[in-house]
Chains A and B, each alone.
Chain A
């Protein structure tokens, strides 16, 4: 054992392990990298006139301090919560990303201004324009939630009826075949004059974009239920109602969630386009407005918010799915 030292104490030979220094290297590197980023931000001259450079330095410094604290905690306790420890390498990568961005955009001018604003410009949008941005998020969410829930529910009901009943299938299948594949955005011009308000038109479009994949996947889910399940249910005395609600629908749920997931993406696209073209509020409108003023920092901020929203909604959908479909093996983790 090379890591132990022997000491001769009054004839007794004590063997003890050398105090082994436990170092969380990702934490060490991350602390240094964030500190360096903060230093670059503070010490080098800004090329433009940005007001939040000071605040940005503080934020970088706080992150550096946090990384240092985590590193010290690791030294003391020998480990960190799994969730924190796993993110170590990412913490380093993010420091490098922000450092390079700051350097190239604000200090060296390698990224042309004003098209690629530095981090402090985005920070300024969040500190100064949060009210307008927040309202836009609320408007978008309101539109989106109404459209998505409506489209999802109607799609689910349609899918179950088409999958279950031959008669419904006979009439609805052709409609689905011809109307379904049309991109919902193609309806935009018609929807805007056919509906009383641009808001209700957007709800319709978002609903339509959700409806189609949800219907098709629910339908295929119901159609794929093995005949044996119904045989079992029938011999146990199940009514038709029981067979639909307790056999067909639960068996189809994994498919339904795939449909809802697909609907999530396509309907968000429709929402943004609708807001850019007609609705006078929401994130799509904010993007359009920012472009009109050549406010590039605002555009990037709005994009960032959008990506967080979309990701958040997928997280929400997946956690609902995980609760409902915990019986399935090998679910994808979001």
Chain B
């Protein structure tokens, strides 16, 4: 693919500072996060791994600014996050494309919302080029496959030139082949653009293949149980014995090593 001219913004530094959060369930407080303390360096790729339903996705919503934490604070480059901001964009598990908009118009959403679309139309074309969907610019979401739809949602995020990309199990609903190829795609996008990434996943291999660092969470209410640093350059190889070793460790931390 020819080099796209999305100018990389320096990645954001993210500090999740002693965050606890609970949901209101019929008047009772259901704690989901318990004193979570995580920092991500600018340009770092951090994977959040944990049992299903442990509260990882809630943590991402707090970082995105969609909800305020019950306790503690989330900081972006030292400033408290209070509202959503296009410098931190989320790619959800479902592509959540707007069905009444074409692929191009879906990608243009952020620029339109920020009032930049008139002067910055070329950025939409560049983002589509980046994910290889230029030919589908005029298609409607119902005409796309699951993998293509998720790539559109990735382009919709990247067009904002984010300094933090928040991925909430972005590949969770894709078939395994599409999944593998998109893992590589996201890694190369991240390397080219230089943003920071926070990615929730419950796929250990995925985390090992993509991230600099893995944070392992406990059962709900989620606490940071362990941290795994992955000292391997990109592109990585799935058969790497070093990754296999880390995989065993990660599974042990999740209490799943019996089957290994």
Chain A residues at the B interface, C-beta cutoff of 8 Å: 226, 228-229, 231-239, 242, 246-247, 250-251, 253, 325, 327-329
Q: Flag whether B250 is at the interface (Cβ < 8 A).
A: no
Decide: A231 and B66 in contact? CB cutoff 8 A.
Answer: yes
Decide: A228 and B94 in contact? CB cutoff 8 A.
Answer: yes
Q: Is the interface of B mostly helix, strand, loop or mixed?
A: loop
Bound Cα distance from A327 to B99, whole angstroms: 7
Nearest Cβ in chain B — how far from A93, in angstroms?
38
Chain A residues with Cβ below 8 Å from B61 are: 231
Question: Restricting to B69-117, which residues have a CB under 8 Å from any CB of A?
Answer: 84-86, 88-90, 92, 94, 96, 98-101, 109-110, 112-114
Q: Given contacts A228-B96, A231-B66, A236-B110, list 12 more A-B pairs with CB under 8 A.
A: A232-B156, A233-B109, A233-B113, A234-B66, A235-B66, A236-B86, A237-B113, A237-B160, A250-B101, A251-B98, A327-B100, A327-B142
Decide: B84 and A235 in contact? CB cutoff 8 A.
Answer: yes
Contact of B112 among A226, A231, A234, A246 (CB under 8 A): A246
Chain B residues with Cβ below 8 Å from A233 are: 109, 113
Bound Cα distance from A234 to B114, whole angstroms: 11
Bound Cα distance from A229 to B113, whole angstroms: 13
Q: Flag whether B64 is at the interface (Cβ < 8 A).
A: yes
Nearest Cβ in chain A — how far from B33, in angstroms?
18
8 shortest interchain CB distances as A-B pairs: A236-B110, A237-B86, A238-B113, A234-B84, A235-B84, A237-B114, A228-B96, A250-B100
Chain B residues at the A interface, C-beta cutoff of 8 Å: 61, 64-66, 84-86, 88-90, 92, 94, 96, 98-101, 109-110, 112-114, 140-142, 156, 160
Bound Cα distance from A250 to B112, whole angstroms: 15
Bound Cα distance from A328 to B101, whole angstroms: 11
Chain A residues with Cβ below 8 Å from B85 are: 235, 237
Decide: A237 and B110 in contact? CB cutoff 8 A.
Answer: yes
Bound Cα distance from A158 to B15, whole angstroms: 44
Decide: B100 and A329 in contact? CB cutoff 8 A.
Answer: no
Nearest Cβ in chain B — how far from A256, in angstroms?
12
Bound Cα distance from A232 to B96, whole angstroms: 8
Residue picked from B64, B89, B92, B109, most chain A C-beta under 10 Å: B109
Chain A residues with Cβ below 8 Å from B92 are: 228, 231-232
Chain B residues with Cβ below 8 Å from A247 are: 98
Known contacts A236-B113, A237-B110, A327-B140: A231-B100 contact under CB 8 Å: no
Bound Cα distance from A275 to B69, whole angstroms: 62
Decide: A250 and B98 in contact? CB cutoff 8 A.
Answer: yes
Known contacts A250-B98, A325-B100: A239-B113 contact under CB 8 Å: yes
Residue picked from A234, A239, A329, most chain B C-beta under 10 Å: A234
Contact of A231 among B90, B99, B110, B141 (CB under 8 A): B90
Decide: A236 and B156 in contact? CB cutoff 8 A.
Answer: yes
Nearest Cβ in chain B — how far from A243, in angstroms?
9
Chain B residues with Cβ below 8 Å from A236 are: 86, 89, 109-110, 113-114, 156, 160
